[in-house]
Amino acid sequence: MLTPRNDYQALFREINRRPGAFATLAHPNRTDYGNLAGTAFNLRADSAIVGTVLRSGPSSSTNTTYSNPSRGSYTPYFQTLLAKGYLVGVTLDHDNHNTTFMRTTPARLVVLAPALTKADVMDALRQRHFYASDDWNAEVTFTLNSQPMGSIYADQAPASMSVSDADNEPVRSVRVLRGVPGSGVRPVVVATAAAGATALSYVDPQG
């Protein structure tokens, strides 16, 4: 089914009509996707979208030594969507325009799937069990009441986070941010760990 160019509401409607289908947003400008970040919360869009990108590219690089970094940061856009109430995870998009995909930068989208099968990976993406990483072998574990990151969980509960790296590269910082979906206010840092720390626990005082 074709939808008119730039008619994102029509696109989101078609995605929602197809069981198992979903969308992620790539390198968004403030007014992209029908000004999603600048207008009121839209349930149709929220039902279709599972993630938005943290960083993108480098799209035109011909580097194959894994040494080019991803470009820019779309963190404010991601946080704006969260503040509006959108249930989105954070992705990472190489936006590759050449045949150097996965070889230009060590940045990765990490998917928390029980097995390396198409069905399990797609299900994990639909459930927002993923995160963005600038390091291909760094591993982050984040849970809320033992539920994996990205889970939709109604009750407030202790949060726990840990980081490991097979290369033993030092961790510069570990932070937990907290926000209220739909409040219109971006999340703020509520807990930090010192440089070099690899774990952090946080108990919400409002829980």
* pLDDT tens per residue across span 54-96: 999 899 999 999 999 887 899 999 999 999 999 999 999 999 9
Percent of the chain with pLDDT over 90: 67
Q: Of 98, 123, 96, which is closest to residue 112 (Cα–Cα)? A: 123
For the cut 70, the answer to whether the pLDDT of residue 187 exceeds it is: yes
pLDDT of residue 155: 72
pLDDT of residue 207: 56
Check: CB of residue 128 under 8 Å from CB of residue 171. no
pLDDT of residue 21: 97
For 168, counting Cβ atoms within 10 Å of its Cβ (0-12 exposed, 13-18 middle, 19+ buried), the class is: exposed
Average pLDDT of the residues in 16-30: 95
For the cut 90, the answer to whether the pLDDT of residue 14 exceeds it is: yes
- Give every CB contact of residue 13 below 8 A, 6+ residues apart in sequence: 44
- CA–CA distance from 155 to each of 122, 146, 152, 191 (Å)? 26, 12, 10, 19
Tens digits of residue pLDDT in 134-184: 998 999 999 888 888 898 877 767 888 999 999 888 888 888 999 998 999
pLDDT of residue 195: 85
> What is the torsional sign of CA 25, 29, 35, 41?
positive
Q: Would you call 193 helix, strand, or coil by DSSP?
A: strand
